[in-house]
Chains A and B, each alone.
Chain A
Amino acid sequence: MRLLLIEDDPTLGEGLRDFLRTDGHRVDWCASLADTDALRGEPYDAWLVDWQLPDGSGLDWLATRRARGDRTPALVLTARDRLADRVHGLDAGADDYLVKPFAPEELAARLRAVSRRLGAGAAQSRAAFGPVAVDLTARAAYFEGARVDLTAREWAVLEALVLRAGRIVPKPDLEKIVLGFESELSSNALEVHVSSLRRKLGRELIETVRGMGYRVGDAS
């Protein structure tokens, strides 16, 4: 998944970024709300937002984006643990609420749950598309029941499309989700990954919608 992490504490921010990266996610880490301005409009699978930031409230930031109609799944990370705080956080548009200190493993699990619930078509952690089965929790793909080894990038492409199953994902968005800021360096990198996925999982899995993007699963 491509994630935006907004956390001002350097130890926690760096730790979470690196942990989530070793989990195979692409993580952009901002230490303040001002830093997120440069990333406006970037497609993310989820936002991880600290409540109290040096230049404002993460909840206000989230509420502003929700008011604009942006439904990107959001987890609020905070040191505030009172019931009223949690209610306030969820009311502001957070999909989940994690009280510090938390184990990064728990954050990763909540992230998967939130993306499954809200991100796209795949309501279960396992989804099947013809002969192909995808297990988002185990990060594994199966073709006719046999596990298929995928590179990290191939998995990123597959996961992004499965999380948005039934919807057309524009190529520039998919590039950003999968490659982050490296997307501008190699213009044909995405096609390389898509074609190797088709080789491993069959040609029918990923449909190219001409001039628009890619899609996994039937149109929703």
Chain B
Amino acid sequence: MLWVVAWGLGVALAVGLAAQHEVDELLDESLYATAMVLAHAIDRVDLESIDDKPLPASEDGEFAWQLVNGGDRMLARSSNAPQLAWHKVHTPGFSDVSAWRVFGVATGREGRLLYVAHTAQERREARGEVIQSAVLAALSIGLIGQAWLRLRVRRELEVLDVLSNRLAGHDPLAGHALGTADRAELAPVHRAIDDLGQRLARRVAHERAFASHAAHALRTPLAGMDAQLAVALRESPAELQPRLQRVRDASGRLQRVVRSLLDLFRVGAEVHRAPVELKALIAHLPVEGLEVTVEGPAHLDVDADLVAAALANLLDNALRYGARQVRASVPAPGVVRLDDDGRGCTPERRRDLRAALAAQHYDGGTGLGLMLADLVARAHGGSVSLPDVDSGFSVALALGDGAAPGP
């Protein structure tokens, strides 16, 4: 609105200045024309009969005139003209004398000069009126133009608004196309978005199919291996048992890795938040060889499947780095922290890990566990951080702001 007013005032000022100039010119021209007519007429008048009395002026008093001879001797004047000549010496042409705008012109007779004048007051009023109407007209035209322009621009932008609304509700993964464009100019944008959407949908469908297929193709043989090994352990002679047990342990590790890999595929999918106790979440995790203590009542509002997968991998990491005890806590709403008593890592290594997590450079040795935890945290709208600790290793998962309040 401020811009509209400033713009209007600017236009009005420009119009005002132009009008003032034009009005001055016009008034000067009228003065000139009057002088010419009057000079021609006055030569035919017998000045003696005027008897040195001022002649009546025009009713509206717009013009005053003086007829002088030999410098400033007054021969005749209109009643509204001053008694003294406007100039002491003959001054033809335009001039400004105190409150008058004067035009002097020689008449036909020798030595006579006719001055015709407007009062400056008169000219100001005329100028004022013209400028006022011109400015008013310019302002109204400006405002009307502005409103019309706004309307046009809004109508032009409405198409973009419709497109942006359609984009907001657009889900290419559901197989919907954006549809035809409202305007020809937008057709390439629609085509590009639809093309991108289709490629994305194909890619996601492909990955989902792979994940589902991989899940079945990997999980069933792993379960079969474990069942066969369990039977073999029961039926084999004692000397074979330690060897078989080692194979079964390895198969268990393989199972965990495969589970994590399959979970990774799911992280990209939707997050289903639900209230859950950290204790209940950890109670279901395989943590053989680890003593996990959960501090206090810890309520979370997270995707339990995903967070459990992340925690299972972090606990597996802790075990591999020599930890025997792990403390699990919720130091802030929506944050799960694990502190272990394992070998930990050097500050340099921790710095590298932090940089890799921040840049999502998972191929730089973050390991499957931290990578999965980070992806799970990011899927929740949070991130993984590695707090500084004197001994052991500490990792905190921020899981977004869906934390349920405590009782």
Contact = CB atoms under 8 A, between A and B. Distances in A.
Nearest to B212: A80
A102 B223 contact: yes
B216 A15 contact: no
B230 A19 contact: yes
Interface in A7-33: 9-16, 18-19, 22
A123 interface: no
Which of the listed residues A14, A82, A101, A105 has the most CB atoms from chain B within 10 Å of its own CB?
Answer: A101
Contacts of A19: 227, 230-231, 234
Given A83-B272, A100-B219, A15 B235 contact: no
Contacts of B266: 82
A15 B234 contact: no
B230 A11 contact: no
A26 to B, nearest CB: 16
Interface in B245-274: 252, 255, 258-259, 262, 266, 272
B222 interface: yes
Interface string B190-231: 000000000000000000000000011001111111111111
A15 B224 contact: yes
Contact of B219 (A79, A82, A83): A79
Contact of B234 (A22, A101, A102): A22
A38 interface: no
B295 interface: no
A13 B231 CA distance: 12
Contact of B230 (A80, A82, A105): A105
Nearest to B256: A101
B305 interface: yes
Interface in B103-129: none
B43 to A, nearest CB: 114
Contacts of B234: 19, 22
A104 interface: yes
A77 B226 CA distance: 14
Contacts of A104: 226-227, 230-231
Contacts of A79: 215-216, 219-220
A91 interface: no
Nearest to A50: B220
Contacts of A11: 221, 224-225, 227-228
Interface in A91-107: 99-105
B230 A103 contact: yes
Contacts of A10: 224
B215 A18 contact: no
Contact of B227 (A15, A83, A99): A15
A100 B230 contact: no
A82 B308 CA distance: 13
Contact of B215 (A14, A77, A80, A105): A80
Contacts of A77: 223
B19 to A, nearest CB: 78
A81 interface: yes
A10 B220 CA distance: 10
Interface string B275-307: 000000000000000000000000000001100
A169 to B, nearest CB: 30
Which of the listed residues B221, B223, B225, B234 has the most CB atoms from chain A within 10 Å of its own CB?
Answer: B223
Contacts of B226: 15, 101-104
Contacts of B224: 9-13, 15
Contacts of A125: none
B227 A12 contact: yes
B221 A14 contact: no
A15 B230 contact: yes
Contacts of B219: 79, 99-101
A82 B216 CA distance: 13
A102 B225 CA distance: 10
B305 A82 contact: yes
Given A104-B226, A105-B230, A22 B235 contact: yes
A147 to B, nearest CB: 22
A208 interface: no
A9 B230 CA distance: 17
B222 A15 contact: no
A53 B215 CA distance: 15
Contacts of B216: 52, 79
A44 to B, nearest CB: 20
A79 B220 CA distance: 7
A101 B255 contact: yes
B220 A9 contact: yes
Interface string A189-218: 000000000000000000000000000000
B234 to A, nearest CB: 5
Contacts of A82: 266, 305
B305 A83 contact: yes
A139 to B, nearest CB: 15
Interface of A: 9-16, 18-19, 22, 52, 77, 79-83, 99-105
* Nearest 4 A/B pairs, CB to CB: A15-B227, A11-B224, A12-B224, A101-B222
Given A22-B231, A99-B219, A101-B258, 8 more contacts: A9-B220, A11-B224, A15-B229, A15-B230, A81-B262, A101-B255, A103-B226, A104-B227
12 contacts: A11-B221, A11-B224, A18-B227, A18-B231, A19-B227, A79-B216, A81-B262, A82-B305, A83-B272, A102-B223, A103-B226, A103-B252
